[in-house]
């Protein structure tokens, strides 16, 4: 058996229930706050920390730079890479660069359309999608890139990277069959672990997990911390594949302003506890409330 390339892979390979966190680079160069929160609240609570890549198409400091800074602080990053902004030349080059900078986990994503962000006039690229990006990473690991030399043979690399490759899925999508078909393609292309879009319905998630029992990649259920009832309603109306039940919205609505964070922690902990029997981890997206992660882990009984 090939040795794991990262602590995240090692823990998942061992069958351990794993928790990952997430930070978003700032819109600017003041990275101290996000690095402090990762070091203070995530380092000893999660196996790895996702670093978002120009999330929601809003221009920010890059995922690679912040991933490298996490490595320097002894925190294992999951380098999120979207295909929206770069062609195959840049994507492959950035993967090699990330590897040289100590990054070993990569999450391949297609990315939100530029129309959602603060530069709607930007030209979207989408030369590759998440499936072909995973195939490109697998190709790099085999010591070649997507190009051809002058004789028409695949270009050979002078040293190949090795990554732990991840992909995303939306378990509660209105049409779940296309999600399963694409997930199968992602795993065939090289995905080794799966993180999901936000899930708030344990019964629907378990049903989805039963549908993909033939796929052997470990799945980490995604949970976004709710800050207000209004946020939950917005996610229901505007985020495809997310369904926050009325009972959870009511709990947030009934909570006094000073108690919302405590109630949100309780909700996250309960959701993880209810779903941990049918998956191998949880991916906590706290949206700036990183200090809540240790309490969520405790509330989930982990």
Q: Can you point out the beta strands (E) in 143-242?
A: 144-148, 154-156, 164-169, 193-198, 219-224
Best CA proximity match to 37, nearest among 270, 284, 235, 232: 284
What is the pTM for the complete model shown? Answer: 0.95
Instruction: Please check the confidence at residue 94 and state whether its pLDDT lies above 70.
Output: yes
Question: What percent of the chain is modeled with pLDDT above 90?
Answer: 92
pLDDT, averaged across the chain: 95
Q: Which residues have CB under 8 Å from 214's CB, separation 6+? A: none
240 pLDDT band, cuts 50/70/90, is confident
Give per-residue pLDDT as tens, 155-179.
Answer: 999 999 999 999 999 999 989 999 9
Task: For the chain, list the domains and their CATH numbers.
Answer: 7-299 (3.20.20.220)
Give per-residue pLDDT as tens, 9-37.
Answer: 999 999 999 999 999 999 999 999 999 99
Q: What are phi and psi of 105, to 5 degrees?
A: -105, 135
- Alpha carbon 52 to its chain's center: 8
By the 8 A CB rule, do 50 and 21 touch? yes
Quickly count: other Cβ atoms within 10 Å of residue 149's Cβ: 10
From CA 123, how far away is CA 191, in angstroms rounded? 28
**The pLDDT value given to residue 1:** 61
Mean per-residue pLDDT, 116-144: 96
Terminal Cα distance for the chain, rounded:
29
**The pLDDT value given to residue 2:** 78
Mean per-residue pLDDT, 107-124: 93
Mean per-residue pLDDT, 199-226: 96
Mean per-residue pLDDT, 98-113: 96
* Residue that has been written with the tokens 């028409």 in this structure: 152
Tokens found for residue 145: 């890139």
Mean per-residue pLDDT, 168-195: 96
How many CA atoms within 13 Å lie on the side-chain side of 287? 13
3: DSSP letter: P
112 pLDDT band, cuts 50/70/90, is confident
Give per-residue pLDDT as tens, 241-290.
Answer: 899 999 999 999 999 999 999 999 999 999 999 999 999 999 999 988 99
């Amino acid at each position: 058996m090939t040795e794991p390339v990262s602590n995240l892979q090692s823990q998942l390979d061992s069958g351990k229930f794993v928790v990952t966190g997430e930070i978003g680079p700032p819109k600017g160069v003041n990275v101290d706050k996000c690095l402090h929160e990762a070091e203070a609240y995530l380092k000893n609570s999660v196996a790895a920390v996702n670093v978002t890549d120009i999330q929601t198409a809003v221009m920010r400091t890059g995922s690679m730079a912040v991933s490298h800074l996490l490595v320097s602080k002894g925190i294992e990053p999951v380098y999120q890479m979207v295909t929206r902004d770069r062609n195959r030349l840049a994507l492959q080059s950035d993967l090699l660069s990330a590897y040289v900078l100590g990054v070993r986990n990569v999450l391949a994503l297609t990315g939100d359309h530029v129309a959602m962000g603060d530069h709607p006039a930007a030209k979207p690229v989408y030369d590759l999608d998440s499936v072909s990006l995973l195939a490109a990473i697998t190709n790099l690991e085999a010591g070649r890139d997507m190009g051809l030399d002058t004789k028409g043979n695949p270009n050979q690399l002078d040293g190949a990277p090795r990554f732990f490759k991840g992909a995303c899925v939306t378990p509660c999508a209105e049409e779940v069959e296309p999600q399963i078909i694409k997930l199968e393609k992602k795993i065939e292309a090289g995905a080794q672990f799966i993180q999901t879009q936000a899930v708030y319905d344990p019964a629907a998630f378990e049903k989805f997990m039963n549908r993909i029992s033939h796929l052997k990649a470990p799945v980490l259920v995604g949970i976004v911390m709710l800050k207000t009832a209004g946020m939950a309603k917005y996610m229901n109306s505007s985020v495809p594949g997310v369904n926050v039940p009325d009972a959870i919205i009511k709990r947030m609505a009934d909570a006094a302003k000073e108690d919302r964070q405590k109630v949100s922690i309780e909700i996250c902990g309960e959701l993880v506890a209810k779903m941990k029997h049918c998956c191998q981890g949880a991916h906590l997206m706290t949206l700036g409330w990183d200090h809540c992660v240790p309490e969520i882990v405790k509330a989930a009984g982990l």
